[in-house]
Amino acid sequence: MANSTSFSSDVGVGFDVTSQGYLEMLGFQDYGGVSIFDLLQQPINSPPEILMVNTPTQQVSSSVSCSSNEGVVNVDEENNNTRSVDVLVDEDDDDDDDDDDVDQEKISTNTTSKQLKPKKKNPKKQREPRFAFLTKSDIDHLDDGYRWRKYGQKAVKNSPYPRSYHRCTSVSCGVKKRVERSSDDPSIVITTYEGTHTHPYPMTPRGAIGIMPETAGFGGFSSGDTGGVSSFLFTQPYYQQLQPQQPYFQNHTPMPSLSNSLSFNTTNASTHLSSYSNLVQERRFCPSPSSTLLPDNGLLEDLVPFQIRKDEPKELI
Protein backbone atom coordinates (compact mmCIF):
# COMPACT_ATOMS: atom_id res chain seq x y z
CA MET A 1 0.00 0.00 0.00
CA ALA A 2 2.81 2.25 0.69
CA ASN A 3 3.94 3.07 -2.74
CA SER A 4 5.93 5.66 -1.11
CA THR A 5 9.21 5.99 -2.67
CA SER A 6 8.76 5.70 -6.34
CA PHE A 7 8.27 9.34 -6.84
CA SER A 8 9.65 12.35 -5.26
CA SER A 9 6.59 13.41 -3.52
CA ASP A 10 8.04 15.71 -1.05
CA VAL A 11 5.57 18.46 -0.99
CA GLY A 12 5.57 21.61 0.86
CA VAL A 13 7.13 24.86 1.54
CA GLY A 14 9.27 25.73 4.40
CA PHE A 15 10.33 28.95 5.85
CA ASP A 16 13.38 29.68 7.73
CA VAL A 17 15.05 32.63 9.16
CA THR A 18 18.41 33.51 7.91
CA SER A 19 21.08 34.91 10.05
CA GLN A 20 20.31 38.27 8.57
CA GLY A 21 16.83 38.07 9.84
CA TYR A 22 15.29 37.32 6.54
CA LEU A 23 12.70 34.80 5.86
CA GLU A 24 13.87 32.05 3.67
CA MET A 25 11.73 29.66 1.81
CA LEU A 26 12.85 26.14 1.76
CA GLY A 27 12.10 23.07 -0.13
CA PHE A 28 11.34 19.96 1.69
CA GLN A 29 13.73 17.69 0.16
CA ASP A 30 17.13 17.35 1.44
CA TYR A 31 19.31 19.30 -0.83
CA GLY A 32 22.29 18.99 1.33
CA GLY A 33 21.35 22.06 3.19
CA VAL A 34 21.03 24.13 0.08
CA SER A 35 17.60 25.44 -0.36
CA ILE A 36 16.30 25.71 -3.82
CA PHE A 37 13.82 28.17 -2.59
CA ASP A 38 16.26 30.69 -1.44
CA LEU A 39 14.14 33.14 -3.20
CA LEU A 40 12.63 34.99 -0.44
CA GLN A 41 14.10 37.98 1.17
CA GLN A 42 11.61 39.09 3.64
CA PRO A 43 12.43 41.02 6.76
CA ILE A 44 10.64 39.74 9.71
CA ASN A 45 10.26 40.42 13.33
CA SER A 46 11.13 37.49 15.46
CA PRO A 47 9.06 35.00 13.63
CA PRO A 48 9.16 31.35 14.31
CA GLU A 49 10.67 29.07 11.83
CA ILE A 50 7.98 27.35 9.96
CA LEU A 51 8.14 24.39 7.76
CA MET A 52 5.04 23.24 6.09
CA VAL A 53 4.63 19.73 5.00
CA ASN A 54 1.83 18.63 2.87
CA THR A 55 0.80 15.16 3.65
CA PRO A 56 -1.82 14.44 1.12
CA THR A 57 -2.77 11.02 2.14
CA GLN A 58 -3.62 9.19 5.18
CA GLN A 59 -0.72 6.93 5.63
CA VAL A 60 1.79 9.59 5.40
CA SER A 61 0.19 11.83 7.74
CA SER A 62 0.89 9.99 10.83
CA SER A 63 4.36 9.49 9.64
CA VAL A 64 4.82 13.13 9.36
CA SER A 65 3.14 14.06 12.50
CA CYS A 66 5.25 11.83 14.56
CA SER A 67 7.96 11.98 12.09
CA SER A 68 10.64 12.89 14.43
CA ASN A 69 10.30 9.53 15.93
CA GLU A 70 10.28 7.73 12.72
CA GLY A 71 12.95 9.50 10.89
CA VAL A 72 10.71 10.98 8.34
CA VAL A 73 11.48 14.51 9.09
CA ASN A 74 15.06 15.38 9.17
CA VAL A 75 16.02 18.62 10.60
CA ASP A 76 19.30 19.57 9.22
CA GLU A 77 21.03 21.44 11.90
CA GLU A 78 24.35 21.43 10.25
CA ASN A 79 23.51 24.20 8.00
CA ASN A 80 22.90 26.84 10.52
CA ASN A 81 20.19 28.71 8.87
CA THR A 82 18.48 26.25 6.72
CA ARG A 83 16.56 23.22 7.56
CA SER A 84 15.27 20.60 5.33
CA VAL A 85 12.62 18.06 5.71
CA ASP A 86 12.20 14.77 4.03
CA VAL A 87 8.71 13.60 3.78
CA LEU A 88 7.69 10.16 2.86
CA VAL A 89 4.46 10.26 1.04
CA ASP A 90 2.38 7.26 0.38
CA GLU A 91 0.24 7.56 -2.60
CA ASP A 92 -3.19 6.49 -1.74
CA ASP A 93 -6.38 6.91 -3.50
CA ASP A 94 -7.92 9.78 -1.83
CA ASP A 95 -11.48 8.77 -2.00
CA ASP A 96 -12.20 10.84 0.95
CA ASP A 97 -15.04 9.29 2.56
CA ASP A 98 -15.45 12.31 4.57
CA ASP A 99 -13.99 12.14 7.94
CA ASP A 100 -16.33 14.84 8.91
CA ASP A 101 -19.20 12.61 8.17
CA VAL A 102 -17.67 9.92 10.17
CA ASP A 103 -17.22 12.25 13.03
CA GLN A 104 -20.72 13.44 12.84
CA GLU A 105 -21.86 9.92 12.76
CA LYS A 106 -19.83 9.17 15.75
CA ILE A 107 -21.17 12.05 17.63
CA SER A 108 -24.72 11.26 16.90
CA THR A 109 -24.49 7.64 17.77
CA ASN A 110 -22.30 8.11 20.69
CA THR A 111 -24.95 9.76 22.65
CA THR A 112 -26.53 6.43 23.23
CA SER A 113 -23.54 4.60 24.42
CA LYS A 114 -20.36 6.06 25.61
CA GLN A 115 -18.40 2.89 25.60
CA LEU A 116 -19.35 1.56 22.25
CA LYS A 117 -17.95 3.63 19.54
CA PRO A 118 -19.47 2.91 16.21
CA LYS A 119 -17.06 1.22 13.97
CA LYS A 120 -16.29 2.75 10.72
CA LYS A 121 -17.82 1.10 7.80
CA ASN A 122 -14.78 1.13 5.69
CA PRO A 123 -12.16 -1.41 6.38
CA LYS A 124 -9.60 1.18 5.65
CA LYS A 125 -9.87 4.37 7.47
CA GLN A 126 -9.81 7.28 5.12
CA ARG A 127 -8.56 10.56 6.26
CA GLU A 128 -8.42 14.05 5.05
CA PRO A 129 -5.15 15.26 3.74
CA ARG A 130 -2.93 16.42 6.47
CA PHE A 131 -0.45 19.17 6.53
CA ALA A 132 2.24 19.31 9.08
CA PHE A 133 4.02 22.44 10.05
CA LEU A 134 7.27 22.49 11.82
CA THR A 135 7.51 25.63 13.76
CA LYS A 136 10.40 26.69 15.78
CA SER A 137 8.73 28.37 18.62
CA ASP A 138 8.35 28.26 22.33
CA ILE A 139 4.66 28.48 21.88
CA ASP A 140 2.96 25.20 21.42
CA HIS A 141 -0.29 26.42 20.14
CA LEU A 142 0.29 28.88 17.37
CA ASP A 143 -2.53 31.18 16.57
CA ASP A 144 -3.78 30.39 13.13
CA GLY A 145 -6.92 32.41 13.39
CA TYR A 146 -9.28 29.58 14.05
CA ARG A 147 -10.68 28.54 17.34
CA TRP A 148 -9.74 25.16 18.56
CA ARG A 149 -10.96 23.00 21.33
CA LYS A 150 -8.66 20.50 22.84
CA TYR A 151 -10.21 17.09 23.05
CA GLY A 152 -7.37 14.92 24.02
CA GLN A 153 -3.79 14.55 24.90
CA LYS A 154 -1.60 11.56 24.65
CA ALA A 155 1.89 10.67 25.49
CA VAL A 156 3.84 9.90 22.41
CA LYS A 157 6.08 6.96 22.19
CA ASN A 158 9.76 7.82 22.21
CA SER A 159 9.00 11.36 23.02
CA PRO A 160 8.91 13.07 26.37
CA TYR A 161 6.41 15.52 25.04
CA PRO A 162 2.74 14.79 24.84
CA ARG A 163 0.68 15.24 21.74
CA SER A 164 -2.44 17.29 22.04
CA TYR A 165 -5.49 16.91 19.88
CA HIS A 166 -7.61 19.85 18.89
CA ARG A 167 -10.76 20.24 16.92
CA CYS A 168 -12.18 23.32 15.30
CA THR A 169 -14.89 24.70 17.49
CA SER A 170 -17.13 25.64 14.66
CA VAL A 171 -20.21 23.56 14.35
CA SER A 172 -19.99 20.84 11.76
CA CYS A 173 -16.42 21.67 11.07
CA GLY A 174 -14.36 18.61 11.40
CA VAL A 175 -10.95 20.06 11.05
CA LYS A 176 -8.51 18.62 13.48
CA LYS A 177 -5.16 19.69 14.59
CA ARG A 178 -2.47 17.92 16.46
CA VAL A 179 0.27 19.67 18.25
CA GLU A 180 3.39 18.09 19.54
CA ARG A 181 6.96 18.90 20.11
CA SER A 182 9.75 17.23 18.34
CA SER A 183 11.63 14.93 20.58
CA ASP A 184 14.74 15.63 18.61
CA ASP A 185 14.49 19.33 18.93
CA PRO A 186 12.14 20.49 21.66
CA SER A 187 12.14 23.92 20.20
CA ILE A 188 10.29 22.63 17.18
CA VAL A 189 6.56 22.39 17.35
CA ILE A 190 4.93 20.02 14.94
CA THR A 191 1.44 21.09 14.08
CA THR A 192 -0.58 18.79 11.90
CA TYR A 193 -3.81 19.94 10.36
CA GLU A 194 -6.37 17.57 9.03
CA GLY A 195 -9.55 18.31 7.24
CA THR A 196 -11.33 21.17 5.66
CA HIS A 197 -12.90 24.08 7.39
CA THR A 198 -16.52 24.26 6.41
CA HIS A 199 -17.06 27.74 7.64
CA PRO A 200 -15.83 31.19 6.87
CA TYR A 201 -12.61 32.32 8.26
CA PRO A 202 -13.42 33.55 11.72
CA MET A 203 -12.98 37.01 12.95
CA THR A 204 -10.87 37.22 15.95
CA PRO A 205 -10.38 39.92 18.50
CA ARG A 206 -6.78 40.05 17.52
CA GLY A 207 -7.44 41.93 14.42
CA ALA A 208 -8.22 39.41 11.83
CA ILE A 209 -10.56 41.49 9.85
CA GLY A 210 -10.98 39.27 6.92
CA ILE A 211 -13.69 36.81 6.39
CA MET A 212 -12.79 33.97 4.25
CA PRO A 213 -15.29 32.75 1.79
CA GLU A 214 -15.94 29.19 2.49
CA THR A 215 -15.85 28.07 -1.01
CA ALA A 216 -13.15 26.08 -2.51
CA GLY A 217 -11.64 24.89 0.64
CA PHE A 218 -11.31 28.24 2.09
CA GLY A 219 -9.73 28.73 5.35
CA GLY A 220 -8.20 25.39 5.49
CA PHE A 221 -7.72 22.39 3.42
CA SER A 222 -9.65 21.02 0.66
CA SER A 223 -9.15 17.95 -1.25
CA GLY A 224 -10.66 18.21 -4.59
CA ASP A 225 -12.32 15.25 -6.08
CA THR A 226 -10.66 15.80 -9.32
CA GLY A 227 -7.01 15.77 -9.52
CA GLY A 228 -6.64 15.38 -5.85
CA VAL A 229 -5.89 18.99 -5.49
CA SER A 230 -5.61 20.01 -1.97
CA SER A 231 -5.18 23.43 -0.68
CA PHE A 232 -4.32 24.80 2.61
CA LEU A 233 -4.61 28.21 3.92
CA PHE A 234 -2.60 29.31 6.80
CA THR A 235 -1.95 32.55 8.41
CA GLN A 236 1.14 34.15 9.60
CA PRO A 237 0.36 35.92 12.78
CA TYR A 238 3.97 36.23 13.55
CA TYR A 239 4.56 38.16 10.43
CA GLN A 240 2.02 40.78 11.10
CA GLN A 241 4.71 43.31 11.56
CA LEU A 242 6.24 42.67 8.24
CA GLN A 243 7.62 45.62 6.57
CA PRO A 244 5.07 46.78 4.08
CA GLN A 245 7.63 48.19 1.78
CA GLN A 246 8.46 44.85 0.48
CA PRO A 247 7.37 44.99 -3.11
CA TYR A 248 5.85 41.59 -3.08
CA PHE A 249 3.75 42.47 -0.13
CA GLN A 250 2.74 45.95 -0.80
CA ASN A 251 -0.41 45.04 -2.57
CA HIS A 252 -1.44 42.42 -0.19
CA THR A 253 -0.55 43.33 3.28
CA PRO A 254 -2.94 45.94 4.43
CA MET A 255 -4.41 43.53 6.86
CA PRO A 256 -2.93 43.03 10.18
CA SER A 257 -2.25 39.80 11.81
CA LEU A 258 -4.08 36.93 10.33
CA SER A 259 -4.92 38.74 7.26
CA ASN A 260 -1.66 37.80 5.85
CA SER A 261 -3.01 34.55 4.75
CA LEU A 262 -1.39 32.29 2.37
CA SER A 263 -2.85 29.44 0.55
CA PHE A 264 -0.88 26.65 -0.85
CA ASN A 265 -2.40 24.56 -3.44
CA THR A 266 -0.71 21.35 -4.08
CA THR A 267 -1.49 18.53 -6.29
CA ASN A 268 -1.92 15.11 -5.00
CA ALA A 269 1.12 13.28 -3.98
CA SER A 270 0.89 11.22 -7.06
CA THR A 271 1.53 14.28 -9.04
CA HIS A 272 5.14 14.94 -9.09
CA LEU A 273 5.66 18.47 -8.08
CA SER A 274 8.37 19.32 -10.40
CA SER A 275 7.93 23.00 -10.30
CA TYR A 276 7.28 25.41 -7.59
CA SER A 277 4.56 27.07 -9.52
CA ASN A 278 2.65 23.88 -9.35
CA LEU A 279 3.09 23.75 -5.71
CA VAL A 280 1.93 27.21 -5.13
CA GLN A 281 -0.90 27.96 -7.40
CA GLU A 282 -3.36 29.87 -5.47
CA ARG A 283 -3.48 32.54 -2.93
CA ARG A 284 -6.51 33.96 -1.34
CA PHE A 285 -6.67 36.94 0.86
CA CYS A 286 -9.20 37.70 3.46
CA PRO A 287 -10.51 40.98 2.21
CA SER A 288 -11.24 39.63 -1.15
CA PRO A 289 -14.91 38.92 -1.15
CA SER A 290 -14.60 37.14 -4.35
CA SER A 291 -14.10 33.49 -4.17
CA THR A 292 -13.06 33.40 -7.74
CA LEU A 293 -9.44 33.93 -7.53
CA LEU A 294 -7.46 36.36 -9.35
CA PRO A 295 -5.05 34.64 -11.53
CA ASP A 296 -1.95 35.21 -9.68
CA ASN A 297 1.10 33.41 -8.69
CA GLY A 298 -0.12 32.55 -5.32
CA LEU A 299 2.30 32.49 -2.53
CA LEU A 300 5.02 32.92 -4.97
CA GLU A 301 3.69 36.28 -5.86
CA ASP A 302 3.59 37.33 -2.29
CA LEU A 303 6.84 36.05 -1.17
CA VAL A 304 9.11 36.07 -4.08
CA PRO A 305 10.29 39.17 -5.75
CA PHE A 306 9.06 39.54 -9.23
CA GLN A 307 12.46 39.41 -10.75
CA ILE A 308 13.21 36.18 -9.11
CA ARG A 309 9.86 34.84 -9.95
CA LYS A 310 10.54 35.21 -13.58
CA ASP A 311 13.16 32.69 -13.13
CA GLU A 312 11.15 30.01 -11.60
CA PRO A 313 12.91 26.88 -10.73
CA LYS A 314 12.20 24.28 -13.29
CA GLU A 315 13.00 21.35 -11.21
CA LEU A 316 12.84 20.84 -7.55
CA ILE A 317 14.74 17.72 -7.56
Partner DNA sequence: CGCGTTTGACCAGCGC
Partner DNA sequence: GCGCTGGTCAAACGCG
| Among 107-115, 215-223, 284-292, 306-314, the segment contacting DNA (CB under 7 A) | 107-115
The distance of Cα 199 from the centroid of its chain, to the nearest Å, equals: 18
Contact 101, 118 (CB under 8 A): no
In the complex, minimum distance from the CB of residue 141 to DNA, in angstroms, rounded to a whole number = 7
Cα dihedral 199, 90, 37, 311 sign: negative
Nearer to DNA by C-beta: 155 or 314? 155
Q: Are 279 and 298 in contact (CB under 8 A)?
A: no
- Cβ atoms within 10 A of the Cβ of 178, count? 22
Strand 221-223 to strand 188-194: parallel, antiparallel, or no bridges (unpaired)? unpaired
Cβ of 91: how many Cβ atoms within 10 Å? Answer: 21
Q: Which stretch binds DNA (CB under 7 A): 109-117, 181-189, 196-204, 208-216?
A: 109-117
Binding test (CB under 7 A) with DNA, winner from 8, 86, 100, 147: 147
For the bound state, the minimum distance from the C-beta of residue 107 to DNA, rounded and expressed in Å, comes to: 6
- Minimum separation from the CB atom of position 220 to DNA (A): 16
Q: How many residues bind DNA (CB under 7 A)?
A: 40
CB atoms within 10 A of CB 175: 24
Would you say 77 or 101 has its CB closer to DNA?
Answer: 101
49-88 residues near DNA, rule: CB under 7 A:
61-62, 65-66, 69
Q: Confirm or reject binding of residue 120 to DNA (CB under 7 A).
A: yes
> Cα separation of 21 and 42, whole Å?
8
- Per-state percent for the chain, helix, strand, coil, to nearest 5: 15, 20, 65
Q: Least distance in Å: CB of 88 to DNA?
A: 14
CB of 99 to DNA, least distance (A): 7
Stretch that binds DNA, among 104-112, 225-233, 236-244, 271-279 (CB under 7 A): 104-112
Question: How far, in Å, CA of 25 to CA of 302, rounded?
Answer: 12
Task: Tell me: does residue 139 bind DNA (CB under 7 A).
Answer: no
Assess 176 for contact with DNA (CB under 7 A). Answer: yes
Residue 199 touching DNA (CB under 7 A): no
Figure out which of the listed residues 19, 138, 155, 310 binds DNA, where binding follows CB under 7 A.
155
- Calpha distance 72→192 (Å, rounded): 14
Q: According to CB under 7 A, which one of 111, 226, 245, 290 is a site residue for DNA?
A: 111
* Interatomic CA distance for residues 96 and 226, integer angstroms: 12
Q: How far apart are CA 273 and CA 291, in angstroms?
A: 25
Q: In the bound complex, what is the minimum distance in angstroms from residue 58's beta carbon to DNA? A: 9
**Interface positions with DNA (CB under 7 A):** 61-62, 65-66, 69, 103, 106-107, 110-111, 114-120, 123-125, 147-158, 163-167, 169, 176, 178
